[in-house]
Amino acid sequence: MTAKIRIGIAGYGNLGRGVQAAIAKNPDMELVGVYTRRDPQELQLASPAPRFAITELERHTDQIDVLILCGGSKSDLPEQGPKYAALYNTVDSFDTHARIPEYYETVDAPAKAAGKTALISAGWDPGMFSINRVYGEALLPDGETYTFWGRGLSQGHSDAVRRVPGVAGGVQYTIPSQEAIDKVRAGLRPTLSTREKHQRECFVVLEDGADAEAVREAIVTMEHYFDQYDTTVEFIDAETLAREHADMPHGGFVIRSGNTSDEQKQVIEYSLALGSNPEFTSSVLVAYARAVHRMNQAGLTGAQTVFDVAPGLLSPKSAAQLRAEML
């Protein structure tokens, strides 16, 4: 039997927890350890696993095949990505779209120098949605691509709502417009404004004595976050927030609509309906860890993206088995 792929987890928030759950679903992998900046003895794991201070990563290079970086894109990954790509094969979910080219360069150099493989920006967007944008455009070059997000909880917009004075708690859901989706699915290739594609729905708990109307106004007029959308604000109590809005569902659609001739329209659609956004993202990271391990063994080093990874590398099955069973 082949040796299991030895995985390390750097960072134990929602994503790290999801990676631990995903490893348990993949019999060809094992979890070597969870590495944290907190006191490892204080870290509560969802299921038992070795816990280490993150500084131990300097010494564990011969014990881990792939290190999955589960930190955030704002401050964790810009530091950890280049640092650990010099020591390990890595997978991360860097998702600040505009900074990906720059991030790629900072990770590529140390990974190449160390003979390591570093897969950046995996997940579903960037990630599976990006792959489907590329496939769609390549298969139907005379066409238009549309990405819709939701219905789902947006972490960034929920944070923005919670920063409004008078708000004690709250969440924001992004809702794709059914009318817009229907037009796209019909192959009409419509031009859609920001307002026509998505609505935003907020559930807010007020602080004692806060002015509901002022809070509502502050939210719906907030620049960049809400002013270009039709936004609804519903006020609820703290118990309702905890009971009905604790999950992190998300998803969306990538639709490519195009013509292969003047007469013939074709529509390709990829959609996700996710019960848990972080758990799905984590599952994607773990599948790409398998691919990264194989790419490194094949001598493909340096930074890579999901565009560089052949689909078969994600599967535990051999190429011959995939041809016989899945083609």
- Interface characters, 172-211, with a second copy (x: CB under 8 A): -------------x-x------------------------
Residues of span 244-273 touching a second copy by CB under 8 A: 260-261, 263-273
> What distance in Å separates the CA atoms of residue 160 and residue 51, rounded to the nearest whole number?
33
CA distance 34 to 11: 7
Between 22 and 206, name the residue whose CB sits nearer to a second copy.
Answer: 22
Helix axes 76-85, 100-114, angle to 10 degrees: 20
Count of residues interacting with a second copy (CB under 8 A): 66
CA-derived radius of gyration, the chain: 22
**Residues in region 26-85 near a second copy by CB under 8 A:** 26
Backbone angles phi, psi at 98, to 5 degrees: -65, -25
Pick the piece of the chain touching a second copy (CB under 8 A) from 204-212, 220-228, 230-238, 303-311.
303-311
Strand 117-119 versus strand 302-304 pairing type: parallel
Rounded Cα gap, residues 278 and 124, in angstroms:
10
Instruction: Answer whether 313's CB lies under 8 Å from 297's CB.
Output: no
Shortest reach from residue 197's CB to a second copy, in Å: 19
Provide the minimum distance between the beta carbon of 213 and a second copy in the complex, in angstroms, as a whole number: 37
The one segment of 31-39, 62-70, 174-182, 302-310 that binds a second copy by CB under 8 A: 302-310
Q: Is 123 annotated as a binding residue?
A: yes
Q: Which member of 18, 78, 81, 176 binds a second copy (CB under 8 A)?
A: 18
Distances (CA, A) of 77 to 65, 120, 150, 185: 19, 10, 26, 37
Going by the DSSP 8-state scheme, the letter that residue 2 receives in this structure is P
Question: Whole-angstrom Cα distance, residue 8 to residue 60?
Answer: 10
How far, in Å, CA of 235 to CA of 29, rounded?
A: 45
Binding mask 94-133 for a second copy (x = CB under 8 A): ---x--xx--x----------------x----x-x-xx-x
Which member of 21, 175, 222, 241 binds a second copy (CB under 8 A)? 21
Taking the least distance from each CB to a second copy, the nearer of 13 and 316 is 316
For residue 163, state whether it binds a second copy (rule: CB under 8 A): no
- Which token pair is 72? 């955030």
Q: Is 277 one of the annotated binding-site residues?
A: yes
Among residues 30, 56, 137, 196, the one that binds a second copy under rule CB under 8 A? 137
Closer CB to a second copy, 161 or 289, in the complex? 289
Q: Is residue 13 part of an annotated ligand binding site?
A: yes
- Nearest-angstrom CA–CA distance, 158 and 163: 9
**The one among 69, 164, 205, 287 contacting a second copy by CB under 8 A:** 287
Q: Please, which residue, 40 or 81, has the CB nearer to a second copy?
A: 81
**213 sits in which H/E element:** helix 212-220
∠292-293-299 over CA atoms, to 5°?
Answer: 85
Phi-psi region of 317 (alpha: psi -120 to 50; beta: other; left: phi over 0): beta
Residues that bind a second copy (CB under 8 A): 18, 21-22, 25-26, 97, 100-101, 104, 121, 126, 128, 130-131, 133-135, 137-142, 185, 187, 260-261, 263-276, 279-280, 282-284, 287, 290, 305-312, 314-316, 319-320, 322-324, 326-327
